[in-house]
Amino acid sequence: MIETVKIGDQIWQKSNLNVLKFKNGDKIPLITSQRKWNDAGKNKLPACCFFKNDENNKETQGVLYNWYAVSDPRGLAPEGFRVPSVNDWSKMFTSIRGIKKVDDSDPDRPLDYYVDVVNKLISKTGWKEDIKGTDEFDFCVQSFGDREIGFDDYLIGSTTTFWTTDILEGWSPLTAFFKPEHNQIKIAYSHFDCGYHVRCLKND
C-alpha cells in the first residue's frame, strides 16, 4: 500500500520511492562499488543503491537512482504512478501559491525557481536548526544524502534533490532541488550518473 497525499488536484507519493525492481519485475542493478556505479553511467545503464550502501536506509530514506533507471522503458514507478516531469512539479508549486521566478545567471540556459513554497513541503524535523519547515501538506520532504562523485552527506539538513523525467536541450537531466536556506525550489540541471531520490505522482 502506497501512502499518498493530495496537493491541489494531484496525488503524490508521501515518501521516497524504494523499489528494487522495474514494473515488469526485472531487478534494477543494485551497485555498491563507486567504480561500477561510474561505469553504469558511462554505459548509460540503470543503477540504484542505498545511501552509503546501508540497507537500513531503504525504508527510512528510500533508494537512490541514476537517471537511466528513472528513464528506463520498463518503468520505475509502481503501477498507476509515474515519475513526475518538470511540469508536474511546477503545477504543484504554483497550486500552493509558490511564486515563479527565473534564474538567468546563465542566459543560454535560464531555469525556473519558486519561492514562498519550500517550507510548506518540508518536514518539521531533520533539517538544520535555522530551517523551519511547516509541512502544511504532509508531504514530509526530508534532507538525505545523495550520490554524485561518491556518497555526499555534507548537504544533509540543508538540501534535497528529486529527479524529473525531463532533459534540458538533450544534454542534462533536470531535477527539483529543494533549498530552504534560500527559500527556493529550483528546477536545476544535473548529470545522468548522479544518484537522487524519486517521488512518484499518481496518474491522472
Query: Which pLDDT belongs to residue 204?
Result: 87
Q: Which helix (H) or strand (E) holds 202?
A: strand 201-202
Q: How many domains are contained in the chain?
A: 1
- To which residue does cell 511564486 refer? 99
Domain span holding position 72: 4-202
| Element of type H or E holding 64 | strand 64-65
Q: Please tell me the least confidently modeled range out of 5-19, 72-86, 99-113, 170-184.
A: 99-113
CB atoms under 10 Å from CB of 38, counted, come to 15
Q: Does residue 171 surpass a pLDDT of 80?
A: yes
Q: Which residues pair with 102 in a beta bridge?
A: 112
Phi-psi bin for 106: left (phi > 0), alpha (psi -120 to 50), beta? beta
Q: Which residues pair with residue 114 across a beta bridge?
A: 100, 185
Cell numbers given for 99: 511564486
Q: Is residue 90 classed as helix, strand or coil in its secondary structure? A: helix
Taking phi first (over 0 means left), then psi (-120 to 50 degrees means alpha), and beta for anything else, what does residue 169 get?
Answer: left
At 144 the pLDDT is 95
What pLDDT, in 10s, does the model give residues 94-134? 999 999 999 888 877 889 999 999 999 999 999 999 999 99
Contact of 16 with 61, CB cutoff 8 Å: yes
Amino acid, res. 198:
V
Task: State residue 99 phi and psi, 5-degree precision.
Answer: -100, 120
pTM of the model: 0.96
